[in-house]
Amino acid sequence: MGVFPTRLKAERSSRTSVFVTLLLSYLVVLLIPVIVFGGLYTRIESIMVENANNANMALIEQAKQVVDGRLDEMHLISRNTSSHPKLDTLLKSGTLQTAEERYDYLSFMKELERYRNSSSFITDFYVYLRKSDTVVSPGFKTNSSILFSEIYGYPNLTYKQFQDDILHGVHFNRFLPVTEVGKGLNKKRMLTYLQTLPFGEKSTPKGALVILIEERQIMGLLEEIVKANHGTIYIKDAEGQVLLSAGERSELANGASASESGMMTVSTTSARNGWEYVSLVPENVFMAKVIMVKRMAVGVLALCLAAGIIVCAYMTYRAYHPLRDIIRFIRQSHPTKGGNIRNEYEFIKSTMADSFGKQVEMEEQLFRQTPAIRANFLLRLLKGHVDTDDISQQSLSFMGITFPHSSFAVALIELRDASGFIHHDCEREWALIRFVTGKVAEEMPGYAAYAVELEKNEVAIILNVPEECGKGVELYEWAEQVKRVIEQRFRTVTTI
């Protein structure tokens, strides 16, 4: 009974391996043009990405040139102011001023106003004179305290910090990031430029030039570029500090990962001031044409692959047809001695025939070992060494064991006096009485019972009992019947 399923399994395994081998051979041939197509497409994609990068780089270069051009106006005002003839006199003057010094202040303010009118890029600027604690701009003259509290204060700084970091610090073409500057309705987001006076002083500055540029002045220069690529542009100074950003995803300028946010990055650095202009463009915009071509290519490739696989399967089936006849022959043949292998088909026939014979022999050996396997299993089950998760119904059926219920009981039978059954106290007769005792218990109606020999005069009975047998009355009745049969029919005194 076990030979025929095994033959089917072996036949199926052989048939599958041969079929897959043939199919893979055709698929390898199919993959050659696919690989060529993939390499060609990769090259085309890289060219399109390079073109998109170049276009984005051209936009960011345009932004750099425009901003650098307007910053040149600011630097011209800085140079003119720091080199003004009257500046050195004003830096040395004290709080008590003569009429001549007051005239110098007025003349200097008029020059500053002329500088400011020369560029619409500059919002305002002022000169701080440390010795006299005076602030001079094109429109006012005051001290640093009033300047901070009423005109150009920084909400994120205290007056002391304002003095130490901005007015008294050493600066050389330094920029502060865009932040709110001013008070009340005059509060605006400004980019701050700082320059120590006199120009080039590195230890004890006598003053400072502060230029304020409204954020919208630079944003207006970048707006068209941001709209063109639907991305974000931010500007960093030579130290890597982000000065300002423009676009919908400006949070990326503060350290967020562009790759994690689905953005493509290009950057360029200005040779004039060391500023780095970084452009972030969404991948769906940056790669729009590339994605469209990719989808078309993948669609065509998928269609060709599907058609190619169908053709490969059909050709494999046709090539497999002769082997199918050989498999039919193996199913119908009996095991025979293999002769010389003349070709592949004869080799398959002889191999399958030998395997069938060996399978039959193994099954016969296994059948002869079934009682020993069963006894070993029951002994391990009795000792609790069996993992119930590893027990299958198929393995139990193979050993002739069935457990219809989930509850178990164990009956221990002690053969106290077998002198009425055995005549010689030898192992053969004791084995016989143990076997008889186990068979009596197993064949006693009521429960599924299985005997396990423990000692010379002890036999354990594993009982599979129904759940409703809770009080054990039926078990005692069963034990009484077993005891009565053994003692009456086999004249052996027992204890259960």
Average pLDDT over residues 299-310: 87
DSSP run (H or E) holding 265? strand 263-269
- Give φ, ψ of 52 to 5 degrees: -65, -40
Please tell me the least confidently modeled range out of 82-96, 129-143, 284-298, 343-357. 343-357
Q: How confident is the model at residue 260 (pLDDT cuts 50, 70, 90)?
A: very low
Q: How far does Cα 116 stand from its chain's mean position?
A: 56
Q: What are the contacts of 425-429 at 24+ separation with CB within 8 A?
A: 427/456
Rounded CA gap, 187 and 193, in Å?
A: 17
CB atoms under 10 Å from CB of 479, counted, come to: 20
Q: Tell me, what's the pLDDT at 17?
A: 58
Three-point CA angle 334, 339, 340, nearest 5°: 145
Q: How confident is the model at residue 14 (pLDDT cuts 50, 70, 90)?
A: very low
**3-state secondary structure at position 136:** strand
Name the pTM for this structure. 0.54
pLDDT over 90 at 89, yes or no: no
Average pLDDT over residues 157-169: 92
**3-state secondary structure at position 271:** coil
pLDDT over 90 at 52, yes or no: no
Strand residue runs (E) in 318-465 = 407-417, 448-455, 458-465
Q: Tell me, what's the pLDDT at 254?
A: 52
DSSP run (H or E) holding 143? strand 141-143
Q: How confident is the model at residue 179 (pLDDT cuts 50, 70, 90)?
A: very high
**3-state secondary structure at position 183:** coil
Cis peptide before 138 (omega within 30 of 0): no
Rounded CA gap, 331 and 325, in Å?
A: 10
pLDDT over 80 at 395, yes or no: no
Average pLDDT over residues 6-19: 49
pLDDT over 70 at 259, yes or no: no
- Give φ, ψ of 84 to 5 degrees: -65, 140
Digit-coded pLDDT (tens) for 202-240: 888 899 999 999 998 888 888 777 777 777 888 998 888
CB atoms under 10 Å from CB of 140, counted, come to: 14
Q: What is the DSSP letter of 148?
A: I
Mean pLDDT of all residues in the chain? 80
Please tell me the least confidently modeled range out of 4-18, 172-186, 272-286. 4-18
Q: Tell me, what's the pLDDT at 129?
A: 92
Q: How confident is the model at residue 349 (pLDDT cuts 50, 70, 90)?
A: low
Digit-coded pLDDT (tens) for 426-451: 888 888 888 888 888 888 887 888 88
